[in-house]
Amino acid sequence: MKKEFNGKGKVDVSRFKGLGEMMPKQLKETTMDRSVRTLLRVEIAEDGDRGTSKLVDQLMGNKPEARFRFIQERAEFAKADELDI
């Protein structure tokens, strides 16, 4: 952030679980404004679709324990002092 913003002023960082949590003004400025948004096409290789359905179900499905388990299994990269627990 120091590199990007030259350490000047205050930078406010926020997170949302989904677009429904955003205030309408924020949604308009960040997601709906064509001049600032970035759309990326995601393509799944034909041979890569076997595990994709399961992964999407784990991360986007109705079972929070599946998301929690997914994070726990892959959290070894995180440093303890960087976690917001």
> Secondary structure of 9-29 in the HEC alphabet?
CCCCCCCCCCHHHCCHHHHHH
Question: How many domains, in total, are found in the chain?
Answer: 1
Tens of pLDDT along 36-79? 888 888 887 777 667 788 888 888 888 889 988 888 888 777 66
Residue 85 tokens read as: 């627990």
State pLDDT tens for residues 20-47.
Answer: 888 999 888 888 888 888 888 888 777 7
Rg (alpha carbons) of the chain, rounded to whole number:
17
With pLDDT > 70 as the criterion, what percentage of the chain qualifies? 76
- Residue, of 52 and 3, whose pLDDT is higher: 52
Q: Which domain holds residue 16?
A: 2-82
pTM of the model: 0.40
